[in-house]
Amino acid sequence: MERFFNSRQLLRASLCIALASTPGCASNHGNLYARGTLAEQSWTAEVDHPIARDYLEGRRLPLDLQELRDAHVTEGLLPSEPTLNYLTTRYSPDVATLFFMEAVSAHDPSRSIQRDYADVIHRLMQTGEDPGLDLSGSRLTVAFAPGWFYESHGAKTGADFQRQLDQLARLGVPGELIKTDENGSVESNAAIIAEALRRLQREGREVLVVSGSKSGAEVAVALGDILAPKETSSILAWLSIGGVHQGSPFADWALNPTVCWISKLHLGLQGFDLEGALSLQTSRRRDHFEKLQFPEHLLLVSYVPVPVSGDISSRGAFGYSRMRHLGPNDGLTMLVDQLLPGGVTIVEPGVDHFFEHPDREVRSLALLEVLLVRIGAAKSVPSLDVESADSERLAHAERDDEP
C-alpha cells in the first residue's frame, strides 16, 4: 500500500472527508491581542474573547467571574472541572484557561515550588551557566519513562528524553531510559516501568521518576496500583510532564466510529495498531485513576503547559480544536486532568503540549535543579544573583497588593 499512497497525504484527504460529517468545534472569537502579568507570570498572546483580554490586562471582570476568582485565590482552591466548564460555556476557553492558571498558582502547596522554579530560571538566564549542584554521596538515579512513539519520532518530539539524558551526563547525574513499548497499552507499559523501579531499588538506588505525556498514565498505574508500598521506599519523587493521567478526549474523538477507520489506517501505514490509543480513552483511564493510591512519602510534581488559544502550535492545533469546547486543554489532554492528588504543580504559560519554548533547555535544567534540591538529593550552589531574585520577589509582592 505504501507504494501507492503517501500516508500524510492520505490522512489529510481522509480527515477532510471525516470532518465534513462530524460536528465542528468553536473557533476563536476575535484573536484579540493581550499583554499582562498573571500569577507572577508575564504573558503576551492573542486571546479568544474580550473578557480574556480584560482578565490578562487587569481590568474589571463580570461579577460571577470575579466572585469565583476571589474565592479560589483567597482560599487556595484548585479549579474543578465543573467550574472550568461553566467559564468555558459562559465566556470562552481562554477565560477558563486564565482562571485555571491563577487558581493553580495560588494553591499554597504549589506556590513555593513555582517561585523556586522562576528564581532558578532567572539565575540561569543571567549567568548562562549550568546548575551548580553538589551530589556528593548521593545514590540518586533519574529514571525516564519515555513518551508515545519515542523510538520512531522521539528525536523530533523529545519523547525519548535524550536531551535531558545528555544534560544529566554533563552534570554527572546518573540517568537511564526505561525501555517501554513505544505503542504499548498503558497497562502493559506500567508493568515494565514497575519492574524497572524494582530493579533500581534492589541495586540500592534512590530514584526520581520522570514521565512525559502518555507515560504519565503509565507511571501513575505503576506507582499507584502495581508496586507495593515497600517497593516504593527508594522512590523519592515523580515529575510528570504534560501527563495524560486520565486519558484524552482527543483519543475519544479519534476512536469514535465515524473517524476510527482513519486513525487505524494512519497508524497502520506506519506499522502500528490502535493499542496505545485505545488505552488512552477517558472511559478507560478516569475510573482507574480514581482508584490509584500513591505512596504518602512520594513528592508528586506536575509540570503543566498552560496555553491560551493564540499559543497553540501547528502540532497542537487539531487536537486543541477538537477539545476546546470542553475547556482548557493543551492540544492532547485537559489541563485539570494533569493535576496529581496531593501533589504540587508548576505551570508553564504560553506553550501547549509540545513545549515549543525558546528557552526550553534552560527550563529543563531549572526543573532538574528544583527537584533535586527539593528531595534533598543535591545541594544547590548559592545563587550569584541573590539581589535580583530578592528584587523580583518584592515586585511580585507589590503586584499582589495592587487592586
Give 281-309 as a DSSP string.
Answer: -HHHHHHHHHH----TTPEEEEEEEE--G
Residue found under cell 484548585: 78
Give pLDDT tens digits for 1-23: 233 234 444 444 444 434 433 44
Provide the 3-class DSSP secondary structure of residue 138. coil
Residue 203 has pLDDT above 50, yes or no: yes
Residue 75 has pLDDT above 70, yes or no: yes
62 phi/psi in degrees, rounded to 5 = -55, 150
Residue 133 confidence (pLDDT): 78
On whether residue 297 sits in a domain, the answer given is yes
- Domain total of the chain: 1
Residue 162 confidence (pLDDT): 96
Q: pLDDT-based confidence at 379, cuts 50/70/90?
A: low
On whether the CB atoms of residues 176 and 144 are closer than 8 A, the answer is yes
Give pLDDT tens digits for 269-281: 777 768 889 999 9
Q: Find the mean pLDDT for residues 87-111.
A: 96
On whether residue 254 sits in a domain, the answer given is yes
On whether residue 257 sits in a domain, the answer given is yes
Domain that holds residue 261: 116-397
Q: Find the mean pLDDT for residues 332-360.
A: 96
259 versus 100: the higher-pLDDT residue is 100
Q: Find the mean pLDDT for residues 256-262.
A: 84
On whether the CB atoms of residues 228 and 200 are closer than 8 A, the answer is no
Taking the C-alpha atoms of residue 320 and residue 191, their distance in angstroms, rounded to an integer, is: 31
Please, what's the b/e burial string for 151-165 (b: 16 or more CB within 10 A of its CB; e: otherwise)?
Answer: ebebeebbbbbeebb
Radius of gyration of the chain (CA): 21
On whether residue 134 sits in a domain, the answer given is yes
Q: pLDDT-based confidence at 378, cuts 50/70/90?
A: low
Give 309-363 as a DSSP string.
Answer: GGG--TTTHHHHHHHGGGS-B-SSSBSGGG--TT-EEEEEET--TT---TTHHHH
Give pLDDT tens digits for 383-392: 444 344 444 4
On whether residue 349 sits in a domain, the answer given is yes
On whether residue 70 sits in a domain, the answer given is no
On whether residue 5 sits in a domain, the answer given is no
On whether residue 24 sits in a domain, the answer given is no
Q: pLDDT-based confidence at 397, cuts 50/70/90?
A: very low
Which segment, 85-89, 123-127, 373-377, is predicted with the most confidence on average?
85-89
Give pLDDT tens digits for 299-310: 999 999 999 999
- Among residues 305, 110, 117, 299, the alpha carbon closest in space to that of 208 is found at 299
Residue 377 confidence (pLDDT): 73
CATH number at 333 reads 3.40.50.1820
Residue 268 confidence (pLDDT): 64
Taking the C-alpha atoms of residue 77 and residue 271, their distance in angstroms, rounded to an integer, is: 45
Helix (H) or strand (E) segment spanning residue 35:
strand 32-38
Residue found under cell 496500583: 225
- Which DSSP state fits 226? I
Residue 135 confidence (pLDDT): 77
The structure's pTM equals: 0.87
Q: How far apart are the first and last CA of the chain?
A: 64
Give pLDDT tens digits for 142-182: 999 999 999 998 998 999 999 999 999 988 899 999 999 99
